[in-house]
């Protein structure tokens, strides 16, 4: 999902920082981009690593206009009574604390930036009462359809994705007057390496829950469909949209 989003951002003309704990994968992504970019190896569970990622981005490009915080782990499956405590901490560490740390350092940087209107003509003739004066930055966090309901056998993942929505809404309110928007997407099954791993972990009788038949549209999503939504939420086409979560779930 992160790769597809970097590709879409580059198509739209953005320079990109491709950050991942898997440096090789990030390099492959960078090789797909037509605009300037850098790779940063980051572990989103570590503050020093996330801070260094933001420092590297600003050193190369001067500011951070948009961020998609989508590092994640699917976790291992078990009901709560059988779920190891360490596994809860690990999943929450990547999916929830990771998003929180990324926001912490991205927002600190964005607060130092001047607001920008990327398409002034679009907003020039709007009445003064609602005239849009630009944004310092716009951030999208990856929650999940599992952030909106129960997820049997995966309580840690479910908790982490509910947490992402709480963090998103809180950050959005805290920084609304600073011209920083924070939103989230809630995808259902999307064809990525995570989904492949997740399906392997499911007992055969539950695999249908990640398949086409589970989704009213009769298929799962392509990561490019998430990328499109992320780029729209990040852009200043929707400046009144903050603290939102966009469910992109084929109707489920
Ligand atoms: N694929 C789906 O069906 C689906 C559905 C709903 C939500 N999501 C969420 O969307 C996001 C993207 O998922 P995806 O399907 O692209 O997963 P993916 O496993 O294909 O990609 C996740 C990326 O996160 C990186 N990563 C993992 N731990 C990290 C860490 N500690 N620091 C930095 N990078 C780390 C991995 O190296 C990987 O490149 C995740 O947050 C996931 O929970 C996925």
- Considering the domain boundaries, does residue 187 fall inside one? yes
Q: What is the span of the domain harbouring residue 138?
A: 69-248
247 is catalytic: no
**Contact (CB, 8 A) for 220 and 229:** no
186 lines ligand 1 (CB under 6 A): no
Quick count: other Cβ atoms within 10 Å of Cβ 1? 25
- Considering the domain boundaries, does residue 105 fall inside one? yes
Q: Report the C-alpha gap between 194 and 12 in whole angstroms.
A: 26
- Considering the domain boundaries, does residue 58 fall inside one? no
- Considering the domain boundaries, does residue 192 fall inside one? yes
Q: From ligand 1's centre to the CA of 125, what distance in Å? A: 41
Q: Report the C-alpha gap between 47 and 69 in whole angstroms.
A: 14
> Mapping DSSP to helix (H, G, I), strand (E, B) and coil, where does residue 25 land?
helix
Q: What is the pLDDT of residues 41-54, one digit of tens each?
A: 999 999 999 999 99
Residue 123: band (very low, low, confident or very high) from pLDDT cuts 50, 70, 90: confident
Q: Report the C-alpha gap between 82 and 3 in whole angstroms.
A: 34
- Considering the domain boundaries, does residue 5 fall inside one? no
DSSP tally for the chain: helices H, then strands E? 9, 6
Q: What is the per-residue pLDDT for 199?
A: 93
Burial tier of 220 (Cβ tally within 10 Å: 0-12, 13-18, 19+): buried
45 lines ligand 1 (CB under 6 A): yes
Q: Whose CA is nearest to atom 16 of ligand 1?
A: 1
Residue 206: band (very low, low, confident or very high) from pLDDT cuts 50, 70, 90: confident
- For the entire predicted model, the pTM comes to 0.97
CATH of the domain at 231: 3.40.50.720
- Considering the domain boundaries, does residue 180 fall inside one? yes
- Position 154 pLDDT exceeds 90: yes
Per the DSSP assignment, residues forming a β-bridge with 182 are 139
Closest Cα to residue 139, out of 102, 95, 191, 177? Answer: 102
Q: Report the C-alpha gap between 6 and 16 in whole angstroms.
A: 7
Q: Whose CA is nearest to atom 41 of ligand 1?
A: 72
102 lines ligand 1 (CB under 6 A): no
Residue in 138, 143, 235, 249 annotated catalytic: 143
144 is catalytic: no
Q: What is the per-residue pLDDT for 171?
A: 99
If one counts the domains in the chain, the total is 1
236 lines ligand 1 (CB under 6 A): no
The atom number, within ligand 1, closest to the CA of 189 reads 3
Residue 122: band (very low, low, confident or very high) from pLDDT cuts 50, 70, 90: confident
175 is catalytic: no
Residue in 138, 161, 209, 235 annotated catalytic: 161
Mutate to test the pocket of ligand 1, among 192, 198, 207 (most ligand atoms within 8 A of CB): 192
Residue 133: band (very low, low, confident or very high) from pLDDT cuts 50, 70, 90: confident
Residue 209: band (very low, low, confident or very high) from pLDDT cuts 50, 70, 90: confident
- Considering the domain boundaries, does residue 38 fall inside one? no
- Considering the domain boundaries, does residue 113 fall inside one? yes
């Amino acid at each position: 999902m992160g790769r597809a989003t970097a590709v879409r951002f580059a198509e739209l003309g953005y320079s990109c920082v491709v950050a991942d704990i898997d440096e090789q994968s990030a390099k492959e992504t960078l090789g797909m981009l037509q605009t300037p970019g850098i790779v940063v190896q980051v572990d989103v569970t570590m503050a020093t690593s996330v801070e260094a990622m933001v420092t590297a981005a600003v050193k190369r490009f001067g500011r951070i206009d948009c961020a998609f915080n989508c590092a994640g782990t699917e976790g291992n499956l078990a009901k709560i009574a059988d779920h190891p405590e360490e596994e809860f901490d690990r999943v929450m560490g990547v999916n929830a604390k990771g998003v929180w740390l990324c926001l912490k350092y991205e927002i600190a940087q964005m607060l130092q930036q001047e607001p920008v209107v990327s398409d002034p003509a679009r907003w020039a003739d709007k009445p003064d009462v609602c005239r849009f004066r630009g944004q310092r930055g716009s951030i999208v966090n990856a929650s999940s359809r599992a952030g909106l309901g129960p997820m049997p056998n995966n309580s840690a993942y479910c908790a982490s994705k509910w947490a992402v929505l709480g963090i998103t809404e809180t950050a959005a309110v805290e920084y609304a007057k600073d011209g920083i928007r924070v939103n989230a997407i809630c995808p259902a099954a999307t064809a990525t390496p995570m989904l492949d791993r997740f399906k392997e972990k499911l007992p055969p009788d539950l695999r249908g829950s990640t398949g086409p038949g589970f989704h009213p549209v009769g298929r799962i999503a392509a990561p490019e469909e998430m990328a499109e939504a992320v780029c729209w939420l990040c852009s200043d086409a929707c400046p009144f949209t903050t603290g939102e979560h966009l469910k992109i779930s084929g109707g489920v």
